[in-house]
Structure 1
Amino acid sequence: MVDAETIANAGFKLSVDKIKNFEVRPDDIFLLTFPKSGTTWMKEILPLVMNGGDIDAITGTSRDVLVPYLEFQLSADDDPIMREVQKQMLIPDGFALDQLQSPRLLVSHLRSEFLPRAIEEKRVKVIYVARNPKDIAISSHYFVKAVQLCGIVDSNEPSQAKAYQDFSEFFPEFLVMKGIAQIVHYHGTRWHEHVLPWWERRHDRNVLFLKYEDMIQDLKACVRQIAKFMDVRLTDGAVDKIRDHCSFQSMKNNKMALKNTYCTNVLGVKAEEGSPFVRVGGVGLWKNTLTVAQNETFNEIYQEWIKGSDLEMTFEL
């Protein structure tokens, strides 16, 4: 058995070729996000939409079983540390993506060029969620502080655990995706490299592009939009039930969303007090952390990131 200390001080080796050649089904639905963009939130919403708002249908089941991470699941066979992480995420032994009933809900943080080739070939449905990068930076910093691991993909070098003294140390590495700031931002993927390709495809029939900030403002409307895209008919009562169940306050009391077992056994924190998977939520949290100088630097770099694009993100409400 791999102990918690080993997990907390090691990176994961992703099975890149296995991921690229993954057998995609025509009715698969992929949730794609840059990390810390509302992934846990969407992993709660999508199964409920799929089940017509039936909360009992997902009660007691790990959200990582209902909406498994493609890259982590496919890498578990080759990585004992990943297998132990799967266990702490309440994923049962023998769990396999090819055994899931269709339609499958799958999630990934990989940017487009590292995803299975068949996603494009079969034009499967993709739900992409984007969040403003300033709030992502803050959320990522707290996540790194809690998890203490460096997600360097495709490297044979051991990952190094490191605690940033404060946000000022983390900030410059986040902007260029170096060191432990990568977390699971694979191959040093920066925000615009992940988001913009899907923004350019937002009008494709198989792509639904959502913004985290819109979900914060009107979750009910977004649930309806998701259901329509997934070809699921929801009653008004079901939409209201999903909205209420997935409110931030409800998520803060949801043991499965908080990943209680992982937080307790691996991170050594009480999930209800400090889960890095459901922390604060909201829009404009960066204003409490970024200095004037940091914000000016971020703005300059952000303008370079989106140069030539018509994407507009909401940075405060």
Structure 2
Amino acid sequence: MVDAETIANAGFKLSIAKIKHFEVRPDDIFLLTFPKSGTTWMKEILPLVMNGGDIDAITGTPRDVLVPYLELQLSVDDDPVIRVAQKQMLIPDGFALDQLQSPRLLSSHLRSEFLPRVVEEKMVKVIYVVRNPKDVAISSHYFLKAVHLSGFVASKWPSQAKAYQDFSEFFPEFLEMKGRAQMLHYDGTKWHEHVLPWWERRHHRNVLFLKYEDMIRDLKACVRQIAKFLNVRLPDGAVDKISDHCSFQSMKNNQMALKSNYCTNILGVKAEEGSPFVRVGVVGGWKNTFTVAQNEMFDEIYQEWIKGSDLEMTFEL
């Protein structure tokens, strides 16, 4: 839970002070998402937009190096659990955010109030990606299923190692972001608590608010939107090239996007057979899992979540 100094998860701690006072550069670009909302997808797209669609330039480089997680570099006292995980994410020893060339692409799952102060003060560009919470719930369930079954989790966090029996067991904990579901997020932040503050800032000059469902519907249009926001003039053919490379089918064959090393050595699964980082890439997959009762309960809670907001999400295409 959150106290005055740390954000604590099941197995590691993040330093609020380190994060809040992190030295942000004026040309930094932040990718912010609630977990399981298209982060891996955007980590493939953004570097390509920034380098004009040059796929060779990112080949062989881990996406978590191209677009590193801010918070995982700022854990408390060089947390050993984080370091083990980062090694399996192919992040090299000695990797440091302050050594990256500008403009830096930085990612985070932190809720807005825990981000560096200058981010909240509209000093840098923010790309926020939101995904409808029903599909987030399904994606989260499969992700935690892989995590909880892994030997790594069992050895580091025995109390968290038991996998959910099925979605019905996971469902209420996701709604409250409690129990084992809290491993999704550092401080138990619920979907609406993460999303709505950025929705309210969507008209700010430094914020680009994107919906995962719109990316599924028309990826090329979203790539153009991203390039315009970042003041990048893409060469002829680059939008098509980026969109083709970042299509779901292409991502399913991309070992870096699948995080194959992490899947093999941490989760104990074959990435090409079931990577929790690139799974099905559809809108409305929740309909194959939610019962009628679960859907009715979710709809009721969701209306409470967004009460007073004009945010509209797409739950199926």
Q: String of CA shifts for 1:272-301, please: whole Å, max 9, x gaps.
A: 001110011110000000000000000000
Q: Partner amino acid for 1:194?
A: H
Structure 1 residues 102 and 285: alpha-carbon distance in aligned structure 2, compared to 1, 3 A threshold: same
- Is 1:12 the counterpart of 2:17? The answer is no
- Is 1:267 the counterpart of 2:277? The answer is no
Equivalent residues in 2 for 1:145-164, closer than 5 Å: 145-148=145-148, 160-164=160-164
- Give 3-state SS (helix, strand or coil) of 2:32's partner: strand
CA–CA separation in structure 1 for the residues paired with 2:13 and 2:148? 17
CA–CA separation in structure 2 for the residues paired with 1:101 and 1:56? 18
Of 29-38 and 114-123, more deviation after overlay is shown by 114-123
- Give 3-state SS (helix, strand or coil) of 2:43's partner: helix
- Structure 2 segments unaligned to the other structure (5+ residues): 1-8, 150-156
Q: Partner amino acid for 1:231?
A: N
CA–CA separation in structure 1 for the residues paired with 2:179 and 2:236? 47
The structural deviation recorded for 1:235 is 2.5
Structure 1 residues 159 and 118: alpha-carbon distance in aligned structure 2, compared to 1, 3 A threshold: farther
Of 233-242 and 26-35, more deviation after overlay is shown by 233-242
- Give 3-state SS (helix, strand or coil) of 1:129's partner: strand
CA–CA separation in structure 2 for the residues paired with 1:140 and 1:265? 20
Structure 1 residues 202 and 126: alpha-carbon distance in aligned structure 2, compared to 1, 3 A threshold: same
Equivalent residues in 2 for 1:147-226, closer than 5 Å: 147-148=147-148, 160-226=160-226
Q: In the alignment, which residue of structure 1 is the partner of 2:135?
A: 135
What is the CA RMSD across the aligned residues, in angstroms? 1.6
CA–CA separation in structure 1 for the residues paired with 2:309 and 2:184? 25
- Is 1:243 the counterpart of 2:234? The answer is no
- Give 3-state SS (helix, strand or coil) of 1:278's partner: coil
8 Å Cα contact 1:11-1:159 kept in structure 2: no
The structural deviation recorded for 1:214 is 0.1
8 Å Cα contact 2:202-2:208 kept in structure 1: yes
Structure 1 residues 198 and 249: alpha-carbon distance in aligned structure 2, compared to 1, 3 A threshold: same
Runs of 4+ off more than 4 Å: none
CA–CA separation in structure 1 for the residues paired with 2:231 and 2:164? 45
Percent identity over the alignment is: 87
Structure 1 residues 99 and 270: alpha-carbon distance in aligned structure 2, compared to 1, 3 A threshold: same
- Give 3-state SS (helix, strand or coil) of 1:75's partner: coil
Q: In the alignment, which residue of structure 1 is the partner of 2:81?
A: 81
The structural deviation recorded for 1:303 is 0.2
CA–CA separation in structure 2 for the residues paired with 1:303 and 1:103? 39
Q: In the alignment, which residue of structure 1 is the partner of 2:291?
A: 291
The structural deviation recorded for 1:184 is 2.9
- Give 3-state SS (helix, strand or coil) of 1:14's partner: strand
The structural deviation recorded for 1:10 is 6.0
- Is 1:308 the counterpart of 2:315? The answer is no
8 Å Cα contact 1:125-1:207 kept in structure 2: yes
Q: Partner amino acid for 1:246?
A: C
8 Å Cα contact 2:47-2:66 kept in structure 1: yes
Structure 1 residues 198 and 277: alpha-carbon distance in aligned structure 2, compared to 1, 3 A threshold: same
The structural deviation recorded for 1:159 is 5.8
8 Å Cα contact 1:77-1:83 kept in structure 2: no
- Give 3-state SS (helix, strand or coil) of 1:37's partner: coil
The structural deviation recorded for 1:13 is 1.6
- Give 3-state SS (helix, strand or coil) of 1:187's partner: coil
Q: In the alignment, which residue of structure 2 is the partner of 1:152?
A: none
Q: String of CA shifts for 1:124-176, please: whole Å, max 9, x gaps.
A: 00000000000000000000000129xxxxxxx98622211000000000001
Of 10-19 and 106-115, more deviation after overlay is shown by 10-19
8 Å Cα contact 1:109-1:184 kept in structure 2: no
The structural deviation recorded for 1:40 is 0.1
Of 299-308 and 72-81, more deviation after overlay is shown by 72-81
Q: Partner amino acid for 1:276?
A: P
Q: In the alignment, which residue of structure 1 is the partner of 2:56?
A: 56
CA–CA separation in structure 2 for the residues paired with 1:25 and 1:159? 40
Q: In the alignment, which residue of structure 2 is the partner of 1:34?
A: 34
Structure 1 residues 191 and 308: alpha-carbon distance in aligned structure 2, compared to 1, 3 A threshold: same
The structural deviation recorded for 1:186 is 2.3
The structural deviation recorded for 1:212 is 0.1
Q: Partner amino acid for 1:24?
A: V
Of 69-78 and 197-206, more deviation after overlay is shown by 69-78
